[in-house]
Amino acid sequence: MQKNIPTKQAISLAFALRKRGVHLITEHYDGHKTIDIFIPKARLYIEIDGLQHYTNPEQFIADLKRDHYSDDEKFFTKHISNQLIETHLEEITEAIYQIVKGQ
């Protein structure tokens, strides 16, 4: 299996979450797919997506199928666009932190 390299946006979010003390795993392989950020405590997968995930029909369907697999495994998947990470990193980080803190 080829090792995936995190995107700059995934690295930014992971770093910001780790600064708040959130335990996470980047580029986690769940036996079916590689997840950008996995937060075990919250059973949360975070996928940082480029524009093609929202505009390419084939990619859109593939993502829905991947999310369905995660649902069956009792994990939640949150998709966040690269653009949102670039423009709202602190707000997104705080929202995720509050969710994890509440677990």
pLDDT 10s digits, 55-68: 778 877 877 777 77
User: H or E stretch including 26?
Assistant: strand 25-29
To the question of pTM greater than 0.95 for the whole model, the response is no
20: tokens are: 């708040």
φ/ψ of residue 27, rounded to 5? 50, 50
pLDDT score for 23: 97
* 8-101, CATH topology level: Endonuclease; Chain A (3.40.960)
Alpha-helical segments (H) within the chain: 8-19, 52-55, 57-72, 82-101
Which is it for strands 25-29 and 76-81: parallel, antiparallel or unpaired?
unpaired
Average pLDDT on 90-103 reads: 94
Per the CB < 8 A criterion, the answer to whether 49 and 81 are in contact is yes
pLDDT, one tens digit per residue, over 33-58 is 889 999 999 999 999 987 776 777 88
